[in-house]
Amino acid sequence: MKLLLKAVTIASAIVASPALATSWTLDPEGSHLAYGSIKKDTVGEVNSFSSLSGHVSPDGKVEIEIDLSSVETNIDIRNERMIEYVFRKTGTATLSAEFDMQDVADLNVGGATTVDADAVLSLAGTDVEFDAEMFVARLSETSVMVSTNDMVFLSTEDAGLNAGVDKLMELANLPGITRTVPITARLIFTMDDKKAGVAAGVPTTVAAAIIDGDVKAGKKVFRKCRACHQLKEGRHGVGPSLHGVFGTSAGQADGFKFSSALQGSGVTWTVETLTQFLTDPKGTVPGNKMQFPGLKKDEEIVNLIAYLNEEAAD
């Protein structure tokens, strides 16, 4: 089993970036998208959108939806005019981009890098392509921040927005509004729940846990289990020996009296099912007799699994 897991690990390290080979969801609270506008050559203003949503697929495809009706110009009537004349009540704009996830794969928590993204903004029926250099920082095991590295400029003409801007000038009786719009973005993405992979049994997630895990730290986490579990084959205590647990069916180890709940659960221990079980033993297999509340931190589980993969396998 250890060899097999190693093989999966190596194979997926080649085909995908292990640490980030998972999907990510935009955190609207921590994210911010703003653009600037200059009127009469001198008066600069910042507008932003308060409602964003988005997603990054494991292969680096980014899709961000901007709710255009959430535009905030700080003046109500101006918000209405923007929505009606510039955005032409088109609801949402979509920003799609593609990232080379390999560039970000090796980022440790606290690490940062810049990546080039080819992006397309689809707004009111027009697609505008642009390149943006983005600054990417890994904030935690499960979150990354992506922000514009330099100012990104969008031409209102390319975006098909000139007629709307003309209308704004007319309505507000302004001699001029700039036709090049600077844009800045700060986007926070959080890793999708690891449990989402349980049913699908995605092997890259397996590999990710093992590559990411710190075996030494996992050994410390195992102290929480040691009162009841040993790793030597056949050595049962309050709980069963966890020797060779990966790949086995739950509740089958010889010589231990399991609860019928665990024995009849139909669970096979993989990284995913074990992650789920260790997060919430009672909720995952109701009626089982393991008196343990569960591990609350993903990091603890990832490390523990790396340790079990090393130590409990041979």
> What does the binding site for ligand HEC look like in residue numbers (CB under 6 A)?
224-225, 227-229, 238-240, 242, 245, 250-251, 253, 258-259, 261-262, 269, 274, 278, 288-292, 295, 304
Min CB(237)–ligand HEC separation in Å: 8
Min CB(244)–ligand HEC separation in Å: 9
In sequence order, which residues have a C-beta less than 8 Å from that of residue 240 and are 6 or more positions away? 229, 253, 256, 258
**Element (H or E) spanning 210, and its range?**
helix 203-212
**What's at 63, amino acid-wise?**
E
Min CB(80)–ligand HEC separation in Å: 56
Min CB(160)–ligand HEC separation in Å: 57
Min CB(210)–ligand HEC separation in Å: 15
Q: Which is nearer to ligand HEC, 270 or 288 (CB)?
A: 288
Task: Kindly write down the DSSP assignment for every residue of 49-101, as one continuous string.
Answer: ES-EEEEE-TTSEEEEEEEGGGEE-SSHHHHHHIIIIISTT--EEEEEEE--H
Q: How many angstroms separate the CA atoms of 205 and 89, rounded? A: 41
Q: How far apart are the first and last CA of the chain?
A: 8
Min CB(52)–ligand HEC separation in Å: 38
Q: Which is nearer to ligand HEC, 117 or 274 (CB)?
A: 274
Q: How many angstroms separate the CA atoms of 112 and 191, rounded? A: 17
Q: Which is nearer to ligand HEC, 168 or 295 (CB)?
A: 295
Q: Are 138 and 112 in contact (CB under 8 A)?
A: yes
Q: Which is nearer to ligand HEC, 168 or 312 (CB)?
A: 312
Q: Which is nearer to ligand HEC, 117 or 290 (CB)?
A: 290
Percent helix, percent strand, percent coil in the chain, to nearest 5? 30, 30, 40
- Per the DSSP assignment, residues forming a β-bridge with 114 are 135
Distance from CA of residue 35 to its chain's centroid?
25
Q: Which is nearer to ligand HEC, 113 or 259 (CB)?
A: 259
Q: Are 191 and 26 in contact (CB under 8 A)?
A: no
Q: Which is nearer to ligand HEC, 117 or 253 (CB)?
A: 253
**Element (H or E) spanning 165, and its range?**
helix 162-172
Residue 237: count other Cβ atoms within 10 Å of its Cβ. Answer: 12
Min CB(211)–ligand HEC separation in Å: 19
Q: Are 231 and 312 in contact (CB under 8 A)?
A: yes
